[in-house]
Amino acid sequence: MSLTEYRRKRQFGKTREPEPGKRLPNGQRAIFVVQLHHASRRHYDFRLQIGDALKSWAVPKGPSYDPKVKRMAVEVEDHPVDYAGFEGEIPKGQYGGGHVARFDRGVWATEGDAEAQLAKGHLRFELFGEKLKGGWHLVRSGKAARQPQWLLFKAEDEYAGKLEADDLLADVTAPPQADARRAGAGKPAKQRHTTVAPAARRRKRDWSKAAAKLPGARKARAPEGPFVPQLARLGQSPPQGEQWLHELKWDGYRILATVADGAVRLWSRNALEWTDKVPEIRAAVEQLRLTSAALDGELIAGQGSREDFSLLQATLSGEKQGALAYVLFDLLHLDGVDVSAAPLVERKALLQQVLGKPPPHLAYSSHIEGDGAAAHALAAERHFEGIISKRGDRPHHPGRGDEWRKTKQLLSNEYAVVGYTAPKGRRNGFGSLLLARPDPQHGWTYAGRVGTGFSDALIAELSERIGKAGRSEPTVHVPPHDTDLRTAKWFAPRFVVEVYARGTGSQGLLRQPSLKAVRADKDVADLADSDRGGGGPGGARPHRKGPQGTRGKAAARSVEGATSKSASRKAPARAAPRLSSPGKLIFPDIRATKQDVADYYLAVMDRLLPEIAGRPLSIIRCPGGAEKPCFFQKHHTPGLELVSFARLKEEAGNNANYLVVEDAAGLMELVQFNALEFHPWGARADSPDLADRVVFDLDPGPGVPFAEVKRAATHVRRLLEQLELESFLRSTGGKGLHVVVPLDPGCQWDLVKRFAHGFADALARSEPRRFVSVATLKLRPKKIFVDYLRNSRGATSVASYSLRARAGAPVALPLAWSELPRLKCGDAFTIKDVPARLKRRRKDPWAGIDKVKQNLARWADDRSP
């Protein structure tokens, strides 16, 4: 918009009003400001940022919250954006001479093109300030006048009422007394209020009783800050099975919402606070009237489709206007109750109840059960990026894992920006950005360059961000290729971009890349936990060598590149890392500290290590202790110096570096990193396709007494004996029991899974009143779920002697079958009594488990045992 008229009317040598040419920093949302102006006639100046200027109106009586009251608004000249910060005196004799005070300021939004709406004569918009909130209208009057006249009035919404602007002057700077007398017109200031709250249209309800009914629910304090979200793994096609819930993949920014004592705070995925950045979302969550909560969802613009992502970015940067919404898909805490342990399908059902008819700017992410192909087709039809498939029968697991899967229509991935090329032709700033992906061998490897998909404003913003940084020598590994980079400038990985590409070429460089977004919500360090899980284009993890190179080349040599067990076992014993924060409470209910956890694992090391050494390993880490959010980890990350890794192919076809512990030092390094639980594969890292364990998890549903679980374990043992299979018993540290069948020689995973599935199905068919072989929640009350799903490549079971991140610090403990009649519950053994129990025990109940010669070869051609 033109500022010529603004400049013509002012003598900037005589007034402190800002001269055109400046603007607010990039990356801020479009603002509005209302100023109380005591000029020759007292009035309110109402200004909306559109582009690089403030579209302005003079409103003599000020805005009214009564939708029936339409206030005249006279269009005046556009003002520069930095006029929003102006307060004080305009000298007498200058245009608009008098006192200016800020009445309100915030961000504003509208659906559609603001200039096009103004040209048609009707602008519908929302204000998010301290005083002016909710929906408003500006309608051009048909009256002939020297200056265009409009009508400003309130929309019918939850903020509508009888308040006037003059009722909201309690904190507005008053003019000098002389100016107040000269201003004359206008009502006397009532000065009663400083802000406006919405009318309580929704009755406050205590949700704690409903939350407490969910499986695994427990009382807990309100979240004090951002929690660790559950993340999805990228796959090639949607997973199949009734247990999967398939949601649209909303193309936006992940936002975590926490509520404590009714106060709402919003966080990005990497724990940056966004509360003030999206005030309409904060206000919408406040309208739910929750005492405490932890909500997970996606911030979107428009419909949240692939085409709307650029609108979201432009809205957040102030370049455009778009209506924002928060699409909610998970609920982890509600009114004093932690529900994160409940199955996702039940958490979502409760979330839907809480939302009811959602307030404006909130939405519920619905799903399709079981039919992933139909969901994927629907996403394509509606121009969404893809779908997210989630195990509906599983609790919340922080971090990235296989229980959430991502299937995209057009592949994109994230890369670190490590340099740029010079611009050509009329382009300014840079020609293209140089990209790199994490690499376990080199740290970072050049992945290609992207030069399309940038707006002029984004080029200017990034050029300013990069500045004069750069050198001629590459800062990352550059494999041989044909691309000319002689004029390129390089720097250390600086920020993250997401790029569309048509795969990679023979040299490993991206084919036809185009920019999707600059990911301000992610750090370079986040690329070590990409949705591709390590390996493959853009997905490998950086890898650091241990002290004096003790990790050695053997640690990366195997079938599929897995760790070499024999080589690492010959290495000299290594010292465990120093334990930091030994006094930190990990299990507050029993006052057990991090030192107590370390002492426990040292006490059981000789028995635990044979259970996990040399196997791909998943861990549960609890940095804040067992009562705070924990997260699931299975991939090697930077900073681990004593833990090896196995480079294994995942179900999606990419390679990833899986954790592998080889000795006590490695295990204690994970304890130092706040690992509480250890969950190994049923296969070794050097032969990951051969299972050497079958695990049947007997998981009691509601209403099943533990005596029935014990009877079921004995029954399973006898059935296995009829199949000439010896089995072993383990308490899980939870509600149930494990019956474990060793295999030597090992068997292929497809055979093991088929056997376990067939055994569980046969058991459920023979005694349907006692057993169920599917995870469907409505079928599980008063029955025992025979969980066979731990018997597939990549699945894990808790290790014997592992702690559980639960109240009381229970332990998963191997037992002799003769001990079963005296066992009182599945979590009968704890951190405090297991070491002493082991000292008293004369014989290991699992002695010889690895020497049992048995396999499933006789069932290789059968569908079930």
Residues marked as catalytic: 249
C-alpha to C-alpha distance for 515 and 511, rounded to whole angstroms: 12
Q: What are phi and psi of 391, to 5 degrees?
A: -70, 115
Strand-pairing partners, residue 732, are none
C-alpha to C-alpha distance for 529 and 539, rounded to whole angstroms: 8
Cβ atoms of 535 and 654 within 8 Å: the answer is: yes
Cβ atoms of 489 and 419 within 8 Å: the answer is: yes
C-alpha to C-alpha distance for 247 and 389, rounded to whole angstroms: 6
Instruction: Quickly count: other Cβ atoms within 10 Å of residue 12's Cβ.
Output: 12
C-alpha to C-alpha distance for 389 and 235, rounded to whole angstroms: 10
Q: Could you say which DSSP state residue 830 is in?
A: B
Give 206: exposed, middle or buried? Use CB within 10 Å, 0-12, 13-18, 19+: exposed
Tokens read off for 168: 């909201």
C-alpha to C-alpha distance for 610 and 617, rounded to whole angstroms: 13
Angle value at C-alpha 166, between 161 and 172, nearest 5 degrees: 120
C-alpha to C-alpha distance for 241 and 787, rounded to whole angstroms: 15
Instruction: Quickly count: other Cβ atoms within 10 Å of residue 425's Cβ.
Output: 6
C-alpha to C-alpha distance for 32 and 321, rounded to whole angstroms: 12
C-alpha to C-alpha distance for 280 and 125, rounded to whole angstroms: 12
Residue 688's identity, in one-letter code, is P
Tokens read off for 489: 């400038």
Q: Could you say which DSSP state residue 581 is in?
A: S
C-alpha to C-alpha distance for 45 and 77, rounded to whole angstroms: 11
Tokens read off for 345: 């399908």
C-alpha to C-alpha distance for 403 and 387, rounded to whole angstroms: 14
Residue closest to 430 by CA, chosen among 496, 489, 485, 475: 489
Give 573: exposed, middle or buried? Use CB within 10 Å, 0-12, 13-18, 19+: exposed
Tokens read off for 446: 């050049």
C-alpha to C-alpha distance for 197 and 129, rounded to whole angstroms: 11
Strand-pairing partners, residue 632, are 620
Tell me the DSSP string of 766-779: H-TTTEE-S--GGG
Q: What are phi and psi of 325, to 5 degrees?
A: -140, 155
Cβ atoms of 563 and 555 within 8 Å: the answer is: yes
The percent helix, strand, coil of the chain (3-state, each to 5) is 20, 30, 45
3-state secondary structure of 684: strand
Q: What is the CA radius of gyration of the chain?
A: 32
How far, in Å, are 140, 151, 447 from residue 143 at the CA level? 9, 11, 62
Q: What are phi and psi of 343, to 5 degrees?
A: -60, 145
Cis before 745 (ω within 30): yes
C-alpha to C-alpha distance for 407 and 372, rounded to whole angstroms: 10
